[in-house]
Amino acid sequence: MASPSSLCLLAALLALISWQAMASDPSPLQDFCVADMHSPDHFFKAAKLDTPRKTNKVRSNITLINVTQIPGLNTFGISIARIDYAPLGQNPPHTHPRATEILTVVEGTLYVGFITSNPNNMLFSKVLNKGDVFMFPQGLIHFQFNPNPHQPAVAIAALSSQNPGAITIANAVFGSKPPISDEVLAKAFQVEKGTIDWLQAQFWENNHY
């Protein structure tokens, strides 16, 4: 049988141009597939939890560790993210089109929730403390909010895809490039075009995994 090294030679070449974009999430066909077979660094990512992090406009910071950061994750259908929340910071309503998420609070308190699909659109929400675990089903709109005005919060999120993707609702609907016609959005949100124009003016830099 060919050695793992030779079996992954092509993968090594392809990795130079981000080939993992072609693959999909099912069962792997080898132990792993990375460029340099002799380094444990392809399975490792240093990410100090103690360093305070700069947060964005909605006062959060998401550090995704997916197949781009740890090449060894290729074909294995899993990734994680660390999320830092400043006091009153949030990870605003978004979906992961390709993953379910399990979130563990490691510091502080979070108010979290998700909304079910049509026709019921039920909100399931909960206040989580340090050590608590909550899950967000694949493709559903969800959010996390740090309700504490004085203390930051930190969570670790496990996601069921090596490249889960994220769609921040406000950014995608009101901040797409080019914008969606305000005629379409006014009818969809049952408001005047002027309100849509106002909402479209507020979109800001994306900040999600």
150-209: which residues touch a second copy (CB under 8 A)? 156, 158-163, 165-181, 183-185, 187-191, 195, 198-199, 202-204, 206, 208-209
Q: Whose CA is closest to 107, among 144, 78, 161?
A: 144
Has 91 been labeled as part of a binding site? yes
Residues 157 and 135: their CA atoms lie apart, in Å, by 9
Q: C-beta of 19: minimal distance to a second copy in Å? A: 5
47-106: which residues touch a second copy (CB under 8 A)? 47-51, 57-58, 64-66, 68, 70, 72-73, 75-80, 82, 90, 92-98, 100, 102, 104, 106
Between strands 141-145 and 110-115, the pairing is antiparallel
Rounded to 5 degrees, φ, ψ at 135 are -125, 150
Q: C-beta of 148: minimal distance to a second copy in Å? A: 13
Alpha-carbon Rg for the chain in angstroms: 20
Asked whether position 35 contacts a second copy by CB under 8 A, the answer is: no
Residues 28 and 37: their CA atoms lie apart, in Å, by 17
Has 207 been labeled as part of a binding site? no
Q: Which is nearer to a second copy, 40 or 150 (CB)?
A: 40
Has 94 been labeled as part of a binding site? yes
Has 146 been labeled as part of a binding site? no
Q: C-beta of 123: minimal distance to a second copy in Å? A: 4
Q: C-beta of 62: minimal distance to a second copy in Å? A: 10
**Which amino acid would we find at residue 118?**
N
**Which amino acid would we find at residue 149?**
P
Has 142 been labeled as part of a binding site? yes
Question: Pattern 101-120, binding to a second copy, x per CB under 8 A?
Answer: -x-x-x----x-xxxxxxxx
Q: C-beta of 133: minimal distance to a second copy in Å? A: 4
Residues 4 and 46: their CA atoms lie apart, in Å, by 26
Rounded to 5 degrees, φ, ψ at 32 are -170, 175
Size of the residue set binding a second copy (CB under 8 A): 142
Task: Tell me the two tokens of residue 150.
Answer: 């004085």
**How far from 189 is each of 112, 205, 208, CA to CA, in Å?**
24, 23, 24
Which one among 85, 108, 110, 134 touches a second copy, defined by CB under 8 A?
134
